[in-house]
Every structure is written in C-alpha cells, then in structure tokens.
Copies of this chain bind each other. A is one copy, B any other.
Amino acid sequence: MDATPLDSLATPAAVVDLDRVEANLRRVADYAREHGLRWRPHTKTHKTAELTALQLQAGASGVTVATPREAEVMATVADDVLLAYPPVGAARLARLMALPRHVRLTVALDSREALEGVSRAAHEAGREVGVLVELDMGMRRVGVQSPEDAVSLARAVSSAHGVRLRGVIFYPGHVRAPRAEQGPVLREQSSRLGTVLDALSAAGLKPEVVSGGSTPTLWRSHEVAGLTEIRPGINVLNDRNSTFVGACEWRECAYSVLATVVSTAVPGQVVIDAGSKALAKEEGLDPAGGYGALLDRPEVLVRGLSEEHGLLDVSTTPWRPRIGERVRVVPNHVCASVNLHERLHVLRGDGGVATWSVAARGW
C-alpha cells in the first residue's frame, strides 16, 4: 500500500481517482437497490482484489470473473464467484475446483461438452457447482440459440452430478447504442427473454437467477422484464466509450493514464509516452475517432498510437504543452488499458493514497 503523489510517478502510469470510484459505487448500488436487482460486478475491468473489496462493501452480492486467475484473486475477498465463461479444459477445471471450499462457485455454459466436464470435475472434487445456462440474446458470441435448446440444456444440468441449476445468463454486448436510443432493443430483449423464461417454467425449471446487464445498458436494466441480477464491469471506472453511450458523464471517469510529452517536432501534434502498450489500440464508439481523450481537455484526442507513442491532435486547440509536461488520458476502453499495467496508482485529488496490484492479469 505504498502511495506516491501524482507528480512523482514515472510515466506512463495508470491512475485511479478514488473519490470518483466511490461515487460510481454509490450510484450503481442505489440503482440496484431501488429496482430490486442483485449487483454482481464484473471484476475483469480492474483485476484488483482491493477494488473488489470496495464493491462488496458497497453492496455487491458477489463477483463476476472470466478467467481462473480472476477467480483465484477475487476469492481472497469474495465468497460468491460467478465464472461468466465456459468452464472448458482440464487446467481451467482443476483450478476452479481448487478454489477455497467456502467459495460458492457458479459457472455459465452453453454446451453438453462443457456441462459434462464441470459435472465430472465437481463430482470428483466433492463440491457442488452452480450452473447458469447461457442464452444468446442477439450478441452472437456464445449462448444457446432457442428456447428449446435452453430447456434441453437446463434439463441436462438438473439431472447431472456435482452441479445445480441456478438459472440463466446472457450478456447484451451487442447493445452499443446511446442510452436514449436503447428502447427498441431492450423491448425486443424482454420479449425474447420472456419466451425462454416461459419455456423453462413450463418445463418445471423456473430459473432462480436471471443474470444480464452491461455498462452501456446499465441504467435501463430494470426495463428488461424478469432480470434478477446485473453484471456491469466498466461502470466502476468508466471510459470514453461509456461516456459516449451515455452510461456516465465525463466527470465520472475515474481512470486515466498519466503521460509525459516527449516530442513536439511535428507541427500540429504532441507526442506523449502513452502508446498502445499503455492505452490499448481499440477503436472507439465515438465517430470523432481517436483512441482516447485528455481528462482535463476532452477536446484533445489521441489521434494515433504506436507502441510507446501517443499522438495528440492539437490542431483544434490553442493549447501547446512544453516537452516534459504531463497529461492524463482517458482511454476508449478501460478494461483493455488496465490489463496493460502492473499496478494502479490510487489518488484523492493529486495525492497518492494506495497502490493496487493488477493481480488478476494473465490467466
């Protein structure tokens, strides 16, 4: 927990504003409480045990993870872990079964093969693993394709050893429209989900858990009929994309990469030492383009990225920083940027209060 004030950090450095984190946590906890939804944040965004602990203190009912390492790290502070990822492969299963016995483990899956693997592993390990049947609600990534397939797989779960059917799960990752325009797609989602839930109930397999939600759809999750749980990840830190879709205001962005100006030789451009290996080179949702924007000057975009160079477009501003000056960049996609850093420097104002290890990086 050694802390370093902002001015003395070597750059590039990943920086977290703790006041903003706490405000973001309060806002989502209040929303979930108001609408009777359980809040199970996805920890892949920050990959730290410390921020998971703050989420649990703020009212999260458990955590979501995608990898064995995330499960292992978060199990040091959480006793209810959902692996929202197919539990396929001997190494993955062995590590899941080796989680502490007091941890209530649930997994998502969409195939008989995955079910057979986890059932056998759980049975051999002498533990009960919860299962959520994964539904494809339009993202076309994973998930069973029809209500009939959902019923069939749920029935197989309910009769397999070592596992217990807990419900269904989906991820509306295809919904990237601005918040104000999500009405039609959310109504369509409610309707599709309703069909599946009806089919399961008719088969005597009424789900206890209906887990959905993402950061872009976060504040309209209550419009999806039947939902019991939301799993936003990005929301705790936010980023340029979540601002663009209206899931947060710019002042709610709690993550940025501190960088130093290293060259101003090319006219109309400023080069900083945060490149694709610090910010991640991910196309954003904003049609203005760029890979990020300055926290304190959001009109200045990161127009280009090499591995260790970020190119700021200053053609639209009179601001001309000197070489050696520091800036903070909010990336398009916070999860991808955090994953490039070993540690997060946690600040209140400009003062350091802690350093968190991004301990769940890798697999």
A residues whose Cβ falls under 8 Å from a Cβ of B: 9-12, 44, 66-68, 85-86, 88-89, 91-92, 110-111, 113-114, 117, 134, 136, 140-145, 173, 260-267, 269, 271, 273, 276-278, 280-283, 304, 306-309, 311, 322-324, 335-336, 339-342, 361-363
Contact = CB atoms under 8 A, between A and B. Distances in A.
B10 A323 contact: no
Given A110-B263, A114-B323, A142-B263, A307 B91 contact: no
Contacts of A142: 262-263, 265-266, 271, 309
A10 B173 contact: no
B260 A88 contact: yes
A308 B66 contact: yes
Contacts of A136: 265-266
A194 to B, nearest CB: 21
13 contacts: A66-B307, A67-B308, A85-B262, A88-B324, A89-B273, A111-B263, A140-B266, A141-B304, A141-B306, A276-B282, A277-B339, A339-B340, A342-B361
A311 B88 contact: no
Given A111-B263, A114-B323, 17 more contacts: A9-B91, A10-B68, A10-B91, A11-B91, A86-B263, A88-B324, A89-B262, A89-B324, A111-B323, A140-B266, A140-B269, A141-B263, A141-B304, A142-B309, A143-B265, A276-B336, A280-B281
A88 B336 contact: no
A44 to B, nearest CB: 6
A80 to B, nearest CB: 21
Q: Provide the main secondary structure of the chain A interface.
A: loop
For the complex formed by this chain, how many copies does it contain in all?
A: 2
B266 A141 contact: yes
Contacts of A91: 9-11
A342 B324 contact: no
Contacts of A304: 141
Contacts of A341: 362
B363 A114 contact: no
Contacts of A342: 361-362
Contacts of A283: 283
A334 B339 CA distance: 17
Nearest to A263: B142
A43 B236 CA distance: 36
Contacts of A322: 113
Given A10-B91, A111-B323, A282-B276, A265 B145 contact: yes
A111 B265 contact: yes
B363 A10 contact: yes
Nearest to A282: B281
Nearest to A153: B265
A12 B363 contact: yes
A266 B89 contact: no
Contacts of A10: 68, 89, 91-92, 363
A145 B265 CA distance: 7
Contacts of A340: 339-340
Contacts of A261: 88
Contact of A324 (B113, B143, B280): B113
Contacts of A44: 307-308
Given A323-B111, A335-B307, A273 B11 contact: no
B324 A336 contact: no
A262 B93 CA distance: 12
Contacts of A277: 336, 339
